[in-house]
Amino acid sequence: MMDQADMELMNSFASLGPLLMQASQYHRSNDDEPNPKKFRNALVKQEEEPGPNQKALLGLVKLMAQVIIQHDRAIQMQHKQTCFVLFVQTSPGSALGVLTQQALAWKTQTSTDQAKPLTLRTFLLRSVILELQTRLVKLSQSSQGNQIWDTAVQEGVILADGSWPYQHWCHKEKKLIRSHRQPMGMARTLKEVQLLTELLNEEGQVMRFHSLKPQATVVPWMIELSIRETEMWTTLMGMTQSTLWTLMLEQLLTGQKGKSQGNGKKKSS
């Protein structure tokens, strides 16, 4: 299947046909002689003074080169805009354990269930979002004075009003710091996560979901969405760099302060 850019590219190639056919035809006059010197002179003259057909062909080739370059850049931009990176901690109880367990569950399900299951990529991402939702609901049902709530506020994961702030990487301090982006309220966060779980009930949302090169205590996972699924993209964009993703750290739920939290280098998607 081709999109609008692909169709325009194919139409441009189609328009090259007549010019290429015309330029490939050789017309020899009656007074031409098989004289190598005369032939070389003719080639030099042709190079110095291209005819109308050659000029048109060169212009069209140049235009086609520009279209191909623009098309390639558009594809790269689409790829960049539809990809997210989820940084998964390797500590016990993190999302990495969820991914490992659910991969085994998917393998068992596909070998016994007659119904067509979700693809592994969709199944795994949905499992992570479901686990995130479970922990989010647990925190939302607590309040000041509860260990989970007080730990989350103390660590800067949520604000005192229950909203979720955003972070960005500070190259000077070498850690994540609070950004000026407006925090997302608890009610809206619950709604957005619920929407993700509903969207991931069906195929077509996730094109790729796989791990990248592991780092010291973190394994990056790339999420590539379909360019046609704008609702999924918009929802994830609203959650990008949110402290919400630190709920996938077991230390937060147990109230234990891990090394990544102590040195300010914990990472979220």
> Domain ranges in the chain?
83-262
Q: What is the 3-state secondary structure (H, E, C) of the chain?
A: CCCHHHHHHHHHHHHHHHHHHHHHCCCCCCCCCCCHHHHHHHHHHHHHCCCHHHHHHHHHHHHHHHHHHHHHHHHHHHHHHCEEEEEEECCCCCHHHHHHHHHHHHHHHHHHCCCCCCCHHHHHHHHHHHHHHHHHHHHHCCCCCCHHHHHHHHCCCCCCCCCECEEEEECCCCEEEECCCCCECHHHHHHHHHHHHHHCCCCCCEEEEEECCCCCCEEEEEEEECCCCHHHHHHHHHHCCEHHHHHHCHHHHHCCCCHHHHCCCCCCC
For residue 182, the model assigns a pLDDT of 95
Are 83 and 233 in contact by the 8 Å Cβ rule? The answer is no
Of 135, 118, 108, give the one whose Cα is nearest residue 205.
Answer: 118
Query: How far from 182 is each of 8, 57, 94, 160, 241, CA to CA, in Å?
Result: 41, 55, 27, 15, 12
For residue 57, the model assigns a pLDDT of 74
- Read off the pLDDT of residues 58-79 as tens digits, 9 standing for 90 and up: 777 777 777 787 776 666 555 5
For residue 48, the model assigns a pLDDT of 56
For residue 15, the model assigns a pLDDT of 60
pTM higher than 0.75 for the full model?
Answer: no
- Read off the pLDDT of residues 164-201 as tens digits, 9 standing for 90 and up: 999 998 998 888 899 999 999 999 999 999 999 999 99
| Separation between Cα atoms, residue 40 and residue 36, nearest integer Å | 6
User: Can you list the residues of the chain whose pLDDT is less than 50?
Assistant: 256-269
* Alpha carbon of residue 78 to chain centroid: 8
- Overall residue count recorded for the chain in this entry: 269
For residue 70, the model assigns a pLDDT of 73
Of 239, 260, 224, give the one whose Cα is nearest residue 88.
Answer: 260
CB within 8 A of 154, min separation 6: which ones?
none
For residue 263, the model assigns a pLDDT of 35
Are 247 and 148 in contact by the 8 Å Cβ rule? The answer is no
